[in-house]
Structure formats: C-alpha cells, structure tokens
Structure 1
C-alpha cells in the first residue's frame, strides 16, 4: 500500500482553499492584520524558496555553511515576533500577551524542526551508499492477540524486495486468540514461529534474538505492514554512517477515513516523521519505533537487549543505544500502521505512550546533567522533555485564556492572533507534507494541531503524569478495528479481566 500520488487537481484545491481563507480574512479582519498576514506569508515564501534553492545545490556550499538552515530557522521566527509585537504593541493585554506567547512557542517548536527536515531531505539525495554485498537480516515479529493482523504483516514481509538473505522469526507472547495458528499459516516453511507464555513485548523480542544469528535485526510490529523496499532503505543507512547503531523506519497511518484518523496522519507527518528527519542530521533520533526499526546485532548485545523497565521498550532501547555512543539515523523505509479510530481508543493509546515516555525520561534522567552524552544531553532529550512539559502546560493555558475571554471580553483580539498563527502553521504543514510526499489535503486539518486536538493530547499527558505519580501500572489497550466485535475479556475500560495486565506492548 502506497500513499496516494498527488495530482494537480488536489494541489489546486488546496491553493484555492488557502486563497479563499485570505479573502475571508480580508472581509472580516482589520486591514492591519490582513497586511501582516500577507507580509508574513510573503516572507515565508521567500524563506522557503531560498532555503530550497540553496540546499538543492549542496555541491558548492562550503562545509562551514552546513548550519545555514539553523540560522535561517532562527532569523525568520525572530522577524515574525518583531513584526507581531510592533503591530500589536498598543493592544496586547496581559491575557492576550500570554495567549500570543503560548501560540508562538508551539509554532517555534515546529518551525525549528521543519527546515532541518528539508535540509535532510536534500542532503540524502546526494548520499546513497549501497553495500557491495547486502548482509543477512533477521526480521523479528512479536505478537500478542494479533489475530486478523499478523497474517497480513507476514505476507508484507514476504513481499519485500530486499536483495540479501532474509529470515523471519515470529514470537506469540501468550496470545489468547488464534494469533499462533494464523502466523503458522502465513509464515514460510523456513520461518521460526514460537509460542511462549505472556511475559511482555520486551521478553518476546529477546526470545526472538535468541533464535537469530544475522548481523542485522529488523523489528516489525504484528499489526503493521511494510513497504516492498522498506528493508533495503533501512540497511542502506548503516553503510552511510559507520557509527550507526540503529535506523528508524518511517511510519504512515493506513486508515484515513475519519476525522480522528486523518488528524493522526497529519500528526505523524509533522510531529513524528519530520522530527526524525531533523534529528537524523545529528544522529540522535530519539525513538526507533517498534513498528519498523533496524539494529546492528552487536549493538543490541552491547546494551543488553530489550529492557522491561518501562512500557515503551522502543524508546528505552533507543536512549540506551545513544548513551553507549552510537548514532541513530532515520530512513525512508515505510511501514503502515492502523491508528485508533475513536477518541476513546486514541486516549488509551496515548496514555500508554506518554506513561512509558515519562518512565524512560526518569530512568535516563542522568543524561540531563551529564555533558559527556553530547548532543543527547544538549539537544535530543531536552527537546523531548520540552514536548512533554512546557508545551502541554501552554496548551492548557491557551484553552483557559479562550474560556476566560468568553466572560471577560477580548475574544476578537484572541481570534485575530489565533488566525495569524493558524496561517503560519498551515505553511509549515504544507512544507512537511511535501517533504513526506503525502496528500496535501491533510493540510486542511492543521488548525487542530493548535486548537482542539492539541488540548486533547495535553489532557491525556497530564492524565498519564498523574497516573505515574500515583504509581499505577494498569495496562490500557485500545480496541483493534478488526477485533472490535469479538470478545477479548476486557471490562469495557481497556483493562484485562484481572484489572492489571503484564502485557507491555507500546
């Protein structure tokens, strides 16, 4: 399955929608704000065009200029801030100032990353190192109650076009459905399919490692399916960087037939894949996703394999590898995953993710104060901490100020500021979508990344933090679409019939 190719009609439709928005702005907004929006839009067009032009010709750019995108990424937002403050210097109340600063902080969080992702995209086009001999890889698939999914996953692995030797190991981690039988039915004769008692995903992966000898390990979640050239894209990156210990795959949302899944598709582009591209530049990708990731076998042995200390063993393992001095890169190898299609199931999924991420940050808190960890200490983990601390609090503050303005007045000014930042965010989203080669219509969901969806995720994060403080270990598992009508022994709240699950699958 590939992301649908963009056609001129779609691009024209998005342009028409943006043009229509500006027409509406011209009618309902003060002329000064319209001029400000048009001016910032023109600056953004010049900025992106200039960066794209320079970076598409890296052959004549001196090595000392490699930080050029970082410089431009800082200068342009600074100019926007100056214009905004000057334009509203006489109108900004304390509440409006906090509201504007909150939105500005969220905007800068993305703005500093997207240009770096653009740089990485151009840079990668000039570096393509194919090995003289493709090494053997072992594909490991942990599975727990994945009936209806694991068969498709194995079929997609068998359909890949990796040039080197490939083996498949599937570990059924004590499933209570027909996962094992389905895996056996779809696996090739030379594959290894193992059934164990339920001990958690980390244990299933370590069991798979015990049954493999290949120098490179590729992990694939049982509910995902990989693109035909995904493994080749992953392994190629190891031969571009001698110090690479792991390579992350590129996750795409497969189901996009509702608001909740479409906005997740945009989130994966702007908030996950774009960040991986940016951090790839300095070799500090912070998460090699369980749905698709590749590892050098000797590196896994060096760090002791997968740990069960957190419920996000992929994040935990990635930080362990970085702490051991290896770099971690991103690839364009695509894996498709099913996103939760209800708000309740999305909340359960993110509660689990956030809980595990907080656990991992606490486990590796020494990195924050130890400069020996280099970029992991100075850039990577601080950025993760920022996304899980300051940004959620700002999201709550923004929502609170909106509600407060309904009773105290000042809604008009807040609305103007909100529209201003939405337009800027749309520009970022369009660029990120173009970098990923995705459907431009996803840009229509951009306002939700600032209002609505963002506050929903912030609330889930605060819920996760409270659960961590209370020491809760209850495992919350969202419903699977294909299994929704089947009894899975849950109590309706995502918990197992025993109230606490030992299953630790992210």
Structure 2
C-alpha cells in the first residue's frame, strides 16, 4: 500500500479529532520522515483509520552517503518547526525550547518568559524552616573535610583540592538562576569538571613532588589523593545542594489541580508480586487516574491474576517483546496528560501520585519527575546495603541534580512523564537494556527539565541473595554503559547545558573512573603499608570513613529514615562497595570485548 494514502488518511483523522492527537502528530512526523514505526503504532493506525496496513515499508532510507558534506540541507530538520516569536525556521543545530505548547529559539524564549514573568513557588507561599540538624551536619561535613585536607595533607595539596572547590562554587552560583536549562549552541568542548578530574593526578603529582616526597612514595599518594579529590568535590557540591533541594521541596504547595494520570504497569512473569502492585495503585489517593496493565507474553499466571481486576483497571496482553515494547503498547491506550510508569514489583505510597504530579507544577518545562524508591525487603546484609545505597544516592546525589533540573535516571519503578514531551521524544527504544535511563537522557538532550520528588514514595523488592544481586546489576551496568556510549556526543556539546557540564560527566566518573580508582587505590594502600607509610594510609582511610558516615547520617535525616541503618554505612566503604566496583569493571570489560548484553533479573520473593 502506498504510504501517501496512510499519511492522507491520518491527516483527515487529525482534522476530525479521531484518536489521540499527540499520538497522531507523532506518527505523522515519523511517516513524513520515512522512519520505522513499531507494531503497536501500526495496530493503532489500523484502529483509527479503519483499514488494514500491509506491505508498507517504514524503514528509513539510507541516503546519507549520497549527500555532500557541504550540503546544508543535511543539518536542517526535515520537518521544519518555526519559532513562534521571530517566525523563522529553527534549524537542527540551533537550541530550541518549548513554552506554553509553542516552540522558540533559545534567544527568543528568554525575552518571552521575561515578559510573561511566570510565578515560581517561593518561601512566601508556604512557611518552612530549615532543619537545624541538617544544617549542622552539612557544616560539620564541610569543616571536617577542609580541616583534614589542610592539617593532614598540607597546604599545597589543599590548593589542588581548592580548584575543585572553585568549580563547585561555579555550579552552585549557576543553580540560583532559572529552573529551566539555558542551553545555548556553541563549539564542541568537553566538560571543565571532567577535564579537571581526569587531569588532577598530574596536578597532585606536581604538588607532592614540590612538597619534597620521594618518588617511591609519590605514586601511592597520588592515587589516594586523586580519590580524595573526587570525594572532596562531590561532598562540597552535593551536600549543600541536597539541603537546598529539601528546603525547596518543603516549600511547594499542595497540588491544586488533578490532571488525568495514566499509570502503565509492564509485566513479564510477575505472578508473585503483581497482585500487591495493583492493589497498592487502587488504594492510592488520586481522584483522576486510570491504570493500564500490560502483560508482555508472560508464561506464568501473571495475566490471569491481573484479569481479576479487569473491572477496575484496563488489562492488555501482547506477545513477548521486552519491557520497552510493553511500555509503548500501554501508552497507545493512555488518555492522561501525565504518564506514570510503575514496575510490576513496586508498591507505591498512598499519596505518591499527588506528590509526583506536584513536581510538574513548578515549571512547564518539567518533562519528567522521578519518585523516591525504597527497598521494602530489608531482611539481610545484601538487602540492607541496597536500602542504604538507595537512600544516600537519592537524598544526596540525586537531590543535587534536582537543583539543576538534570536528573539523569527517572526510574522505571516509579517515574512520571508529561505525555506531550514523551511523545515528542519518541517511543521507548530497544537499543539498550535500560530503557528508563535512555529515555531520560533523550528528554534532557531536548533541553527539558527532569526533577525528583522524595515524597512520592515507592517500595520495591530488592535482590535478597548475592546471586540475584549480581544478575540485576549485570543488566543495569551493561545497560548504563550502552546509554553512555549511545549519548556520548552530549559529553562534548555545550548546547546540552547541565547534562554536558555536570550530570553526564558525573555518571561517566561514577561508572567508569571511580571503580578503576577504587581498585588501584586499594592496591596502593596495601603497597603503602608495606613501604612503611601505614600512618598516612590510616589517616586517608579515616577521612573517607568519617565523611561517609556523616553524609549517610544526613541522608537518613533528610529522608526521615531509620537511624539504625547507619550501622551498615561502613559496608558502603568496605565490602559492598568493592562488589559494586568489581561488577562495574566487569561490565566495562564486556563492553570493550563487544560481548552481547542480555536482560537479566532477580527472582521474585513476593513478600
């Protein structure tokens, strides 16, 4: 069948308001660009156009090799969008932003927003006093780290650390501006932060040599000080930002309107947990919601269990194709303005939907809001360590990214998206095995905001054996490296704003550099003890442990969590951390060897 007929009929459907308008516009763009559409899109078209679509080639033609490098049409958007203010075309290499459902050049939108003066919640909207314990812990952490560097490592080493402090101050001052990203096109250049961290060993080595240490001792101290430099920078940035983020969240007013929310639950062989997940959603306090369950060809009783609730939720079934296809299939039927994704093993809090929707009211550029994921099966060492890892990661690191509107992973366990932005970003892809990470980066590259909500809680089942933990993290880490490789262009393109300047470099640091440093630092510590430098090694180790305990205490305080978990903080420095670093290194090696990444998951317990 001629594709032109389908395009014509789809345009008629849009004029007659048939089907979902956002979905229709997205598919029309895909067809006009000769891009492939997924099977669920094909079935959707057949439904609203009322005829069968067969023998149509939707593959994108491979004509790029025929175009000259000097042909400027290569760099233009094939489906040109005009700026609402200046009425000129927005080229692909120009930064554009969306405001009140209209598109503008980056320069034009600043003028428009300045004239419109959008309101942002401030302290006058809601009384909120900073927690003195949080402030006290923050001051103690910073003071301890600065004093340790000065008195133990020497003033010249402190200068090396201080350079990282200057970068921190630069980012902190930048966060006081507008909440939406002010990305601007420019020449390609790597992140200053990333360049500093990768070059700091040479800087530290120069400082140590100047201080007069022997060359035999220098390699050991260079590596240890490199690790400490990274920790120093992270603490100086993340800890103050975490407290500010908590204060901002406490100032937000309660949700005033209740836009329709579509909750999509993809599931494959989840018979042990699916009933609890559905019942938890049914009990959630939100007046305008629909629940869409998508069975991805389960081979157990998952579908039959979900079907018991078919009078209260929409139950869909499809052949097995992976989580990404299940999400795309469910979104075809979603009617809500907000799409909420919930994993099949997750029980969300009773007020979670209200809290997560609140995040979209702060700024209309907010494309996604990440929920606060907690481990509910804290039964043994491995699950308690995961619970603590989640708390510190969300309440310290993610909160800092929240300030910059650049949270990099809106989790599949509980994540919400504005449907219009999600549609424009395109369907969930199967190019990686961590679809939530990939989709979030696509939104950030579009110049949109991703934020988090610690009050939108969800309780997930963590792997309760080391074997299951390894299986889960094998998929996570291989998938994360896939996404980093897929979006590596964002590391050197300033047009992507905080994604390029801060978020993606930090992820690269955590996934690639940190595990390598961890093992090298451990080996150097052992070597240092053998060489008689045991006191110095002990001092460095003590700094790491004390700062980590203080940061963990702060995270527990912010999240109002059980203080008893603090006893397990030592394992996130020794024990659990080494397991994570080993799995990260293994994932890196497998990627370098081009070993195929496969979907692995933990067995469900069903507590």
TM class, shorter-chain normalised?
0.7 to 0.9
2:274 to 124, 129, 150: 150
Name the SS for the 2:379 alignment partner. coil
Q: Is the 8 A contact 2:145 2:543 kept in 1?
A: no
Q: Is the 8 A contact 1:70 1:112 kept in 2?
A: no
C-alpha displacement of 1:96:
4.1
Paired with 1:476 and 1:308, the residues of 2 have a C-alpha distance of 11
Unaligned runs of 5+ in 1: 1-54, 62-68, 485-506
Q: Is the 8 A contact 2:472 2:602 kept in 1?
A: no
Q: Is the 8 A contact 1:312 1:353 kept in 2?
A: yes
Determine if the alignment matches structure 1 residue 235 to structure 2 residue 357: yes
Determine if the alignment matches structure 1 residue 254 to structure 2 residue 369: no
What residue number does 2:581 align with? Answer: 458
What residue number does 1:328 align with? Answer: 450
What residue number does 1:25 align with? Answer: none
Q: Point out the structure with max Rg over C-alpha.
A: 2
Paired with 1:136 and 1:401, the residues of 2 have a C-alpha distance of 56
Name the SS for the 1:339 alignment partner. coil
What residue number does 1:134 align with? Answer: 258
Q: Is the 8 A contact 2:270 2:604 kept in 1?
A: no
Instruction: Classify 1:70/1:110 alpha carbon distance in 2 versus 1 (closer, same or farther; 3 Å).
Output: closer
Determine if the alignment matches structure 1 residue 159 to structure 2 residue 227: no
Determine if the alignment matches structure 1 residue 98 to structure 2 residue 223: yes
Instruction: Classify 1:103/1:456 alpha carbon distance in 2 versus 1 (closer, same or farther; 3 Å).
Output: farther
What residue number does 1:375 align with? Answer: 498
Correspondence list, 1:282-431, <5 A? 282-331=404-453, 332-405=455-528, 407-431=530-554
Give CA deviations for 1:3-35 in whole Å, capped at 9, x if unaligned: xxxxxxxxxxxxxxxxxxxxxxxxxxxxxxxxx
Instruction: Classify 1:151/1:427 alpha carbon distance in 2 versus 1 (closer, same or farther; 3 Å).
Output: same
What residue number does 1:86 align with? Answer: 154
Paired with 1:391 and 1:126, the residues of 2 have a C-alpha distance of 35
C-alpha displacement of 1:111:
4.6
Instruction: Classify 1:417/1:79 alpha carbon distance in 2 versus 1 (closer, same or farther; 3 Å).
Output: closer
Identify the range of structure 1 (82-91 vs 321-330) with the bigger mean alpha-carbon deviation. 82-91
Paired with 1:60 and 1:232, the residues of 2 have a C-alpha distance of 20
Name the SS for the 1:222 alignment partner. coil
What residue number does 1:213 align with? Answer: 335
Runs of 4 or more off by more than 6 Å in structure 1?
Answer: 55-61, 69-76, 87-92
1:281 to 403, 408, 421: 403
Instruction: Classify 1:239/1:254 alpha carbon distance in 2 versus 1 (closer, same or farther; 3 Å).
Output: same
Paired with 1:469 and 1:247, the residues of 2 have a C-alpha distance of 33
2:238 to 113, 120, 127: 113
Name the SS for the 2:154 alignment partner. helix
Paired with 1:345 and 1:60, the residues of 2 have a C-alpha distance of 42
Count of residue pairs brought into register by the alignment: 420
Q: Is the 8 A contact 2:512 2:585 kept in 1?
A: no
Paired with 2:235 and 2:462, the residues of 1 have a C-alpha distance of 22
C-alpha displacement of 1:427:
1.0
Determine if the alignment matches structure 1 residue 168 to structure 2 residue 236: no
Give the TM-score taking structure 2 as reference length.
Answer: 0.65
Give the TM-score taking structure 1 as reference length.
Answer: 0.77
Determine if the alignment matches structure 1 residue 123 to structure 2 residue 248: yes
C-alpha displacement of 1:336:
0.5
Name the SS for the 2:552 alignment partner. helix
